[in-house]
Amino acid sequence: MNIAVVGTGYVGLVTGVALAHIGHRVTCVDVDQEKVDCLRQGISPIYEPGIEPLMKENMEAGRLFFTTDGASAFREADVIYVAVGTPENEDGSANLTYLRQAVKDIASAVTKDVIVVTKSTVPIGTNHEMKRMFAELAPHVRIEVVSNPEFLREGSAIHDTFHGDRIVIGADDEQAAAVVADIHRPFGIPIFQTDIRSAEMIKYASNAFLAAKISFINEIANICEKVGADVEQVAAGMGMDARIGSSFLRAGIGYGGSCFPKDTKALAKIAANIDHHFELLKAVIEVNNKQQRKLIEKAKERFGRLAGKRVALLGLSFKPNTDDMREAASLVVARELLAEQAIVVAYDPIAMGKAAHVLPKEVIYADRVEQALERADAAMILTEWDEFRQLDLSVYVNKMKTPIIFDGRNCYALDDVACYPIEYYSIGRKSITNIK
């Protein structure tokens, strides 16, 4: 199959590489010349474990190409995947500017019948709008639109693409659905076929549900702290119930990233547009906004004023194994610390380059975790990178002015921390105050 992928971000690149790997001829198209130049040299513009070797292997095998020349790629393609961004508008709705542009680009280029597969997360009704646009802009050809929402997680995107739980295909046209199902069959993942609107909703409902699970356990954690229960124990006990399941029950300082924040807001907006006030989802969002500030609250409670305090921020990306800074807790925490006139020294194993573009310019960057901790009054752990989980706790004791840790991801076992002269505040667990 000759496939074009529009947009080579986290989703488009992984999709393109994976489809090439199962034997298709894939041309990835992006409007960003710098990105394409980088990709052509076999360099991934995003940090995603395992992506580069797979990219290179498929480029060398003559199955994977990168270009800014969308017109040629679309003209030759049998199937075109759309994976452009659908960021958030100011009112929370999804911004479809890139998607509509991609539709126009495709419509003006194609000269034969083609199937367009939408991977981007789009509001219910968008695939039908795309179909109407194609009918108007390219009446000379038949363009079928199929919804194929993406469920990969950044940081394990390659693994998820080859070992996902399901592939959702939403289509009005049986033949188009069958072609897309055939393309994906080599992945060996169960295929769930449905109508277009339901497929679009499956994506939003899944993300909203997972976000709700996170906000739920975070609220339980906040209560645990006050009643003397331990949220890790509670989550373990809850998770053993198959009806609940153990995943997404890790208490912390909330969700971030390119999907949950924008998709929950977009779904609330979709509901509001039809006069349905999705109170549960609004509460999920509100709880998360508060939770991202939890460590600041704890630090203020501990220190009173934060002015002049040197705070080491450990972990800047929104989660480990990615360099994605979109809606990362570090953005909120760094801003608030600086507003309190604290000195912020930041370290992340991978995301520092991207972080420097989006964090306030007052943030100081350290080359190593030890350097970030040097003479610090407090450390705040925002991302549970293995490097921090595996860090010997004596490093905090030896490097910091006062070894006071605010752990937003519960990286350490309380029994381990208790062996050191450390003050330790985590989420939903008892505090340890061992400093003499």
- Applying CB under 6 A, the site for ligand NAD has a residue count of 29
Residue type, 41: Q
Contact (Cβ atoms closer than 8 angstroms) between residue 135 and residue 238: no
Smallest distance from ligand NAD to CB 13, Å: 7
User: Which residue, judged by CB position, is nearest to ligand NAD in the bound state?
Assistant: 9
Which span sits near ligand NAD by CB under 6 A: 6-14, 50-58, 292-300, 365-373?
6-14
Smallest distance from ligand NAD to CB 217, Å: 21
Torsion of CA 25, 28, 29, 32, to 10 degrees: -160
Residue whose CB is less far from ligand NAD, 29 or 117? 29
Selected binder of ligand NAD within 3, 4, 29, 130 (CB under 6 A): 29
- Strands (DSSP E) along 10-131, which ranges? 25-29, 64-67, 79-82, 114-118
Contact (Cβ atoms closer than 8 angstroms) between residue 64 and residue 16: yes
180 lines the binding site for ligand NAD (CB under 6 A): no
Give one word for 379, left, alpha or beta, with left for phi > 0 and alpha for psi -120 to 50.
beta
Residues 121-140 that bind ligand NAD (CB under 6 A): 121
Which span sits near ligand NAD by CB under 6 A: 55-63, 80-88, 347-355, 396-404?
80-88
Q: At what angle do helices 231-239 and 196-227 cross, to 10 degrees?
A: 140
Per-residue interface string for the shown chain with ligand NAD, residues 255-274, x marking contact by CB under 6 A:
---xx---------------
84 lines the binding site for ligand NAD (CB under 6 A): yes
Six token digits for residue 100: 């509509």
Contact (Cβ atoms closer than 8 angstroms) between residue 383 and residue 255: no
Selected binder of ligand NAD within 105, 200, 225, 407 (CB under 6 A): 105
Selected binder of ligand NAD within 11, 59, 124, 210 (CB under 6 A): 11
Q: Considering just the CA atoms, what is the radius of gyration of the chain in Å? A: 23
Report CA torsion sign: 325, 330, 336, 342. Answer: negative
51 lines the binding site for ligand NAD (CB under 6 A): no
Alpha helices in 274-403 (DSSP H): 279-291, 294-303, 329-339, 352-358, 369-373, 386-389, 394-399
154 lines the binding site for ligand NAD (CB under 6 A): yes
Selected binder of ligand NAD within 3, 4, 5, 10 (CB under 6 A): 10
Q: Return the active site residues.
A: 259
Selected binder of ligand NAD within 21, 24, 25, 35 (CB under 6 A): 35
Rounded distance between C-alpha atoms, residue 218 and residue 254, angstroms: 7
254 lines the binding site for ligand NAD (CB under 6 A): no
Q: Which residues of the chain form contacts with ligand NAD (CB under 6 A)? A: 6-12, 29-32, 35, 70, 83-86, 98, 101-102, 105, 119-121, 150, 152, 154, 258-259
